[in-house]
Every structure is written in C-alpha cells, then in structure tokens.
Amino acid sequence: MHEIITIVTTAGRPDELSMALAAFACKELGAPFEARNKRSIRKMSQELQAHVIVAGKHRYDYYAYGAQEPFFFHPNSAAFRLKRVARGEREPFLEAAQLQQGDTVLDCTLGLAADAMLAAYAVGATGHVVGLEANANVAFIVKQGMESYDTSELPLTACMRQIEVVQKEAVHYLQALPDQSFDVVYMDPMFEETIEEANNFQALRQAGEHMTLTNQWVMEAKRVARKRVVLKAYFRSEWFAHYHFQQYKRATAKFHYGVLELGST
C-alpha cells in the first residue's frame, strides 16, 4: 500500500488571499501544492492517494483520506462552557483539574482544544497551557484556527490565543521533560466506546491519531505532574480502576473524569 501523503489546494475559484494561505500551509507542513483544475476534493484525494488541506477565504479545511466530512477548527463547546463558568455554574473538567491562577497545564490530547481553553481561562495570564497534537495536519488546523478565528467574544478570544500548540506524540514529549514540569497533566484519549451523541467529533475521530492509554503514558504523566493527573474516559472504562484514578461519576454523562492526586496545592 502506498503511503498517504498530504497535499494543499484551494477552493474552486481561489483569490489572492486563499493562494497566500495555501502557500503558507505548504511551507508549514512541507506539503506540495496541487491546483484544483475543476476537480472535486474527493476526486483529488482518490487520484493522488492523499490527505487534502483546502485553503479557503476564511479557514482551512482538512479532508483526511477516505473521510466523508472535513475537519476544521471551531470553538465548539468551549464558547458556551466558558459562559457557564463566567456565570458561576459548575464545570466538571475544572472541578476535576482544580486549577489555580498561575498554574501550568499540559493537555496531552489537544483535539479541538475545548478543555485547553477552559484551562487557559482558569490559570489566567500568569499561567501557561501547552496542547499536544500527534497528527501534524490536525495540529496545523487547530493552531491556525485559534490564532485567526474571528470572534469578539471574551474571554474566548484571549483563551484561544494563550494556548501553545505543539505537534508531538504525548509519551515522547513527556519523556523529554524534567520531573514535575507541569502542575497538571491532562489526558483525553479517543474513547474506547463511540458516543453516538458526539457527532461533532466524528470528523476529528477520522482525522486524528487514535491513542490508547498505556502504563508508560500514565507513569510519565505522574512523573511530570506536580499536583495531579486528570483523565477523561468513557464512564464504564476500566482505566479508572486499573490506574487507580479517583473517578468523578456523573449520572447523566457518558464520560467521566478521573484524578490522581500527587501533591499539595
């Protein structure tokens, strides 16, 4: 089987801006440019056996090879979750992470960055949030999306701009860090079970890397975290008990958070 490459193209009728955005994507990803020549994205992907990144006028779309829908950045659930927090309502992720102003957070599985944005809000301008994404194309889409997404909503904009995106596989990144480098390490692997209600994550599921929790991952996370390690998983997951996470159960939720406390806050 041929290796699946990544190519960059434009919308059907590109303007100067989309051509410039395409050139930028080619440079950042080391990917070749391919003119549309009136071809559909699906046809180009099949002909060239390639993932396709489309530079549009307002955003990048990523069509993973064989995917039915594009992956693109959108603040998604982060916007209304931040509004709830600002109103003083409960936020299960923040209750599990117990973040304080000035904390440092390592999100090992950035995805669409919703939890990282909540973390950025909680730690404030004096804190720091690093988000890891193993897939280079997904990392590019999310990083560029957070840097350029046009919104006047605060604190959403500030939270997006505050996150440092690193294209790296989680265990490899953790292995290179000194002990107790971050206050909190957060892990949200792709669920072992598919949650049907989470339709907005299907494009990410097709585009992103599928990782499972391992002994090495948990061991490295415990070494790097000063205060706690937080895990998000399917509510029936055996990971909570197997790795001795305190499971925060929620009666109506299909996923739960688990916490390993490592030190005083």
- For residue 163, being part of any structural domain is answered with yes
Q: Is the link from the previous residue into 155 a cis peptide, with omega within 30 of 0?
A: yes
- Residue 9's domain comprises 5-63
Q: Side by side, which strands form the sheet with 5-10?
A: 5-10, 50-55, 60-63
Instruction: Give 181's contacts (C-beta < 8 A, 6+ positions apart).
Output: 104, 106, 224
Mean pLDDT of 157-168: 93
Same domain, 81 and 58: no
Same domain, 56 and 101: no
Query: Which residue has better confidence, 32 or 199?
Result: 32
Same domain, 44 and 173: no
- For residue 96, being part of any structural domain is answered with yes
Nearest-angstrom CA–CA distance, 206 and 172: 23
Q: What confidence category does residue 2 fall into, taking pLDDT thresholds of 50, 70 and 90?
A: low
- pLDDT at position 191 over 60: no
Nearest-angstrom CA–CA distance, 262 and 215: 17
Q: Is residue 131 classed as helix, strand or coil in its secondary structure?
A: strand
- For residue 195, being part of any structural domain is answered with yes
Q: Which two tokens stand for residue 68?
A: 């039915």
Across the chain, mean pLDDT equals 89
Give me the pLDDT at residue 12, please.
Answer: 84
- How many domains, the chain? 2
Q: What is the per-residue pLDDT across 81-134, written as a single tens digit (0 to 9) for each?
A: 998 998 899 999 999 999 999 999 999 999 999 999 999 999 999 999 999 999
Chosen domain end from 21, 39, 63: 63
Nearest-angstrom CA–CA distance, 137 and 35: 19
CATH number at residue 43: 3.40.50.10480
- For residue 69, being part of any structural domain is answered with no
CB 228 within 8 A of CB 211: no
Same domain, 131 and 177: yes
Same domain, 186 and 81: yes
- For residue 186, being part of any structural domain is answered with yes
Mean pLDDT of 178-205: 69
Nearest-angstrom CA–CA distance, 92 and 258: 11
